[in-house]
Chain A
Amino acid sequence: MRVLVLGAEGFVGRHVLSALAKTAGITAVAAVRRKKAEEHLVVDARKTEQLRRAFDGVDAVVNCVTGDPGTIGDNAGALFAAAAETGVQVIYLSSMAVYGSATGWVTEDAALLGDVGAYSAAKVKAEVFARACPAQVTIFRPGIIYGSGSPQWTERIARLLQARRIGDLGMAGDGCCNLVHVHDLVRAIVAALLVGQGPRGQAFRHRVYNLAMPGAPDWNWYFLQFARALGVVPVRRITARRLAVETKVLAAPLKLAETLLDSRLPPAIPSSLARAWRQNLRLDSTRATQELSLSWTTLSEGISEAVAGLNASRNVRRKS
């Protein structure tokens, strides 16, 4: 089985690629925007024509492309148009953001509100394209993807913890942190590819799975355990006043500096992020657990892996 990985140089794409390489019966092809290695196939994942050519001789495609809302929309439009023409099976990484401001337990059948910013709206739009596609489509809606190399939920959080800008947030960290370790996400993708192959798997056209660890902690607990593993203790209690300064005063200039200058600048805490830390949406992943026979990485295992990854990349930077 030949599997094309779009966005193969990204955080999730790299993990998917290396897992597929180890999976018997699967030949993985890495498609990237900018060529960095000999075996890379250069594809602009926003162009239907280029995707159609890349899908030639391919059985399935795993779409790990991400970017700004515009890119997400263009990518989904082109992807599902090309899939419709070629009939290739698609595994699409959506996001829990499609549920928007929902609270409480959320299953795959919940309404797609997409009302928490342009990113969530773009993901809903992408799923509309997916739904209209006649080819086989598997949509994953992962929660907070963490693990070594996760820029948002491991690296950024680690830097914020190390700078003591976050910690114990009190009521501002009471929201549910729907963690999914990147290894679990990758296992789900591989399982979907393999299950999709079997005679029983042929029956589906579209399927959707939430992905978050069972018994997901609240954000405070994630921050506390992560800080403990990083050794940035004792963890500080962050006052509401301080968090307001972060979101209302510091966030805009930091975000601007990050866009203009360098990503190594201190990360911003935009109010959308602070809002997510309060949101009590609980992703129900029963369906994925059962149909894809998933087993889940525990929080302590996941955090150990993430911290080991951080230490390794720090050593690499120090040497170079």
Chain B
Amino acid sequence: MILNAQELTGTDALRTQVCVVGAGMVGISMALELSAAGLDVVVLEAGGTSKTEASQSQYRGSVVNEDLHGPLETFRWRRLGGTSGVWNGRCVPYDPIDFEDRPWMQECRWPIGFEQVAPYFVAANRYLEAGHADYSASSTFGPGMPEMIEGFCGEIFSTDSMERFSPPTDMGVRYRERLASPASIRVVLHAPLQEIHLDESGTRVVYLQSRRPDGSMFGVEAQQVVLAAGGLETVRLLLANNHVQKSGIGNEHGVVGRFYMSHIAGTLGSFAPRRQVHNGYRQDYDGVYCRPRLALLPKAQREHKVGQFIARLHHTRISDPAHGSGILSALRLGRTLVPKQWRARLIDEKNSAGEMALHLWNVARDLPEVARFARQLVFERTLADRKYPSVVVKPRSRRYSLDFHAEQEPNPLSVVRLGKERDEFGVPRLEVDWRYTAMDVRTIEVAAALFAEDVKRSEAGVFEYVPESILREMTRYGAYGGHHLGTTRMGADPRVSVVDAECRVHGMSNLFVAGGSVLATSSQANPTLTVIALALRLADHLKRETA
């Protein structure tokens, strides 16, 4: 059932087997999984059913370098369903190499192997409505599928790796009925967690206190507690609760909030294929949109001692009319119609009057294509539940750029910590100091050079780029929005990790963390799918452990 904290008038604490803090994607999938196994679950959600200005303002904090990191109240939604409301739906699993020791990067080590997570991708795909957990283009679509880049036989890059797209699933809407019907789930809205009370030894959570909208408190007593409040807020909860453990819960070695990773993303160079490219979406039988991508093969990563790197073939800069595409020019001219959060990334440069005229000319000579695109936009995106994920055009210029997404090396100096500012309830707000390392730059430099080499060798085309532009391109938009990873990272050694292989906070008997913050490394993959898989794995553990 779904309750409002203000309706909980009794003075007795809510008693339950498992309390999950946060009803975002992780909290919801865990609650459904646990309740299906017969466990009693209480989910504490700080927000209501929709995003409001007032609730979002609780997320405000400070950022050390505002050029590199967005404001803290963006890309996280404080409401039932959490940030799934702004998610674009890209599902990609972590790879086996992510879980291997990679000594050429600092602290690249996991206490579990890929095979311990892999089984959970099946259910994670199901919750995210992304179809089968098959991320190989050839095995999904069979041998008849056209090659992504015709004639390309990569020795360094694979084109078989594929991303799947969720509709995208807004968990707060999609699973609302399933949360509301069973008696074994109690989702309490407007109930931000305020206090985590530990026993005297500081090893066990005995009591949680949440705040009602009127400022009064109510308690929750749970056998097991799971923090699933996102990679930033979880840090705040652990560090601000410093009554028993003076440096904050699980922070004996000062690791909570450190190793903060996102992804390095950007657009690079110009690829002129010799033959056709097939870089667009293809639907699996169940309607799931799939898109091929270029992935730097593990053996090349080992040989060149770099991190993970993938890229999609992308149209060139929208603002530059030289692409010759009527669709892209129409987007430039109708800039205000493009959703705000993408506008900055897609259409970022000013055009001269002459360039605007060229944009108009592009639209005029491409009118049928523009009309087809407009139709697709309306019927397959705006009105559709399963949305066509993004704009893919075949530019007249036949030139593509590499839209890359690359790994960040775990870095103890990249930090989320409590700032000096406090909210109206006296809880310190967060301060973020996100950083990248020389290795992060090197990964992209090496991958770009290797891609140029790989296409040249197989005579599939020419990739040109300005090596000096890499640093500018990869930091143009700073940390990739919404990927808040590594801040309570998983590991066997408490000196460099916060949770153990079971996602249990080191030194605590009944406190767990689920979410992107437990990821020990950042991979090439967008984190959502793997985060859900790890959460379902934790749910399995809790089913076994909770009598």
Interface residues of A in 203-238 (CB under 8 A from B): 224, 227-228, 233-238
B304 contacts partner chain A, Cβ-Cβ < 8 Å: no
Tell me the nearest residue of chain A to B126, going by C-beta: A221
Answer yes or no: B425 CB below 8 A from chain A CBs.
no
Residue from A233, A234, A280 whose CB has the most chain B CB atoms within 10 Å: A234
Q: Are B287 and A236 within 8 A (Cβ)?
A: yes
Asked if A174 and B286 make an inter-chain contact with CB atoms under 8 angstroms apart, the answer reads no
Residues facing A in B335-355 (CB within 8 A) are none
Q: Does A201 contact B (CB under 8 A)?
A: no
Q: Are A234 and B285 in contact (CB under 8 A)?
A: yes
Q: Is the CB of B178 within 8 A of A168?
A: no
In the assembled complex, the CB of A61 is this many whole angstroms from the nearest CB of chain B, namely: 41
Q: Which residues of B contact A227 (CB under 8 A)?
A: 285
- B79-118: contact bitstring with A at CB < 8 Å (1 yes, 0 no)? 0000000000000000000000000000000000000000
A239 at the interface (CB under 8 A from B): yes
Does B57 count as interface, using CB distance less than 8 angstroms? no
CA distance A168 to B175 in the complex (A): 15
Bound CA–CA A74/B129 (angstroms): 46
A168-B386, A237-B384, A239-B384 given; A174·B285 CB < 8 A: no
Collect the chain A residues with CB atoms within 8 Å of residue B150's CB.
none
For B284, list chain A residues within 8 Å (CB).
Answer: 234
User: Digit string of A231-258 for contact with B (CB within 8 Å is 1, else 0)?
Assistant: 0011111111000000000000000000
Tell me, in angstroms, the Cα distance from A228 to B283 when the chains sit together: 13
Check B181 against A103 for contact (C-beta < 8 Å): yes
| Minimum CB distance partner of B169 in chain A | A170
- Tell me whether B384 and A174 are in contact (CB under 8 A): no
Complex Cα distance, B178 from A170, in Å, reads 12
B383 sits at the interface (CB 8 A): yes
Q: Let me know if B287 and A174 touch, CB within 8 A.
A: no
Residues of the A chain whose Cβ atoms lie less than 8 Å from the Cβ of B386? 168, 236-237
Q: Would you call B174 an interface residue if the criterion is a C-beta within 8 Å of the partner chain's C-beta atoms?
A: yes
Give the distance to chain A from B28, nearest Cβ to Cβ, in Å. Answer: 13
Rounded to whole Å, the gap between the CB of B493 and the closest CB of chain A is 42
CB of B385 within 8 Å of the partner chain: yes
The answer to whether B286 and A239 have CB atoms under 8 Å apart is: no
Candidates A168, A170, A235, A280; contact of B181 at CB < 8 Å:
A280
Q: Name the B residues within 8 Å of A224 (CB-CB).
A: 285-286
Question: For B66, what are the chain A residues with a Cβ–Cβ distance below 8 Å?
Answer: none
Question: Per-residue 0/1 for B176-206: is the Cβ within 8 Å of any A Cβ (1 yes, 0 no)?
Answer: 1110010000000000000000000000000
Residue of A167, A227, A228, A237 contacting most chain B CB atoms (<10 Å): A237
CB distance from A308 to the nearest CB of B (A): 19
A171 at the interface (CB under 8 A from B): yes
B385: chain A residues at CB < 8 Å are 170, 237-240
Is the Cβ of A239 less than 8 Å from the Cβ of B383?
yes
How near does chain B come to A248, taking the closest CB pair, in angstroms? 18
> In the complex where A237-B385, A239-B384, A239-B385 touch, is A170 in contact with B287 (Cβ < 8 A)?
no
Bound form: Cα–Cα A239–B173 in Å? 13
Given A168-B386, A280-B181, verify A237-B167 contact (CB < 8 Å).
yes
Select from chain A the residue with minimum beta-carbon distance to B386: A237
What string of 1s and 0s marks CB contacts (under 8 Å) between A80-120 and chain B? 00000000000000000000000100000000000000000
A residues in contact with B287, CB < 8 Å: 167-168, 234-237
A310 to chain B, nearest CB (A): 18
With A and B bound together, what is the CA distance between A170 and B176 in angstroms? 12
Distance, CA A280 to CA B287, complexed state (A)? 24
Q: What separation, in Å, do the CA atoms of A174 and B129 have in the docked complex?
A: 12
Q: Given known contacts A239-B384, A239-B385, is B286 in contact with A234 (CB within 8 Å)?
A: yes
A42–B153 Cα gap in the complex (Å)?
73
Q: How far is the CA of A185 from the CA of B384 in the complex (A)?
A: 39
Q: Given the complex of chains A and B, what is the CA–CA distance between A227 and B167 in angstroms?
A: 19
By beta carbon, the residue of chain A nearest B383 is A239
Whether A174 contacts B177 in the complex (CB less than 8 A), given A167-B287, A234-B283, A235-B285, comes out as: yes
B167 touches A171 (CB 8 A): no
Determine the residue in chain A with the shortest Cβ distance to B176.
A171
What sequence of 0s and 1s flags, for each residue 279-307 of chain B, a beta carbon within 8 Å of any chain A beta carbon?
00001111100000000000000000000
Interchain CA distance A103-B176 in the complex, whole Å: 17
**Which residues of B are in contact with A by a Cβ distance under 8 Å?**
129, 167, 173-178, 181, 283-287, 383-386
User: What is A's interface to B at a CB cutoff of 8 Å?
Assistant: 103, 167-168, 170-171, 174, 224, 227-228, 233-240, 278, 280
Given contacts A236-B287, A278-B177, A280-B181, 18 further A-B contacts (CB under 8 A): A168-B129, A170-B129, A170-B167, A170-B174, A171-B176, A171-B178, A227-B285, A233-B285, A233-B286, A234-B285, A234-B287, A235-B286, A235-B287, A237-B167, A237-B287, A237-B386, A238-B385, A239-B383
**What 3 A-B pairs come out closest when comparing CB atoms?**
A237-B386, A234-B283, A233-B285
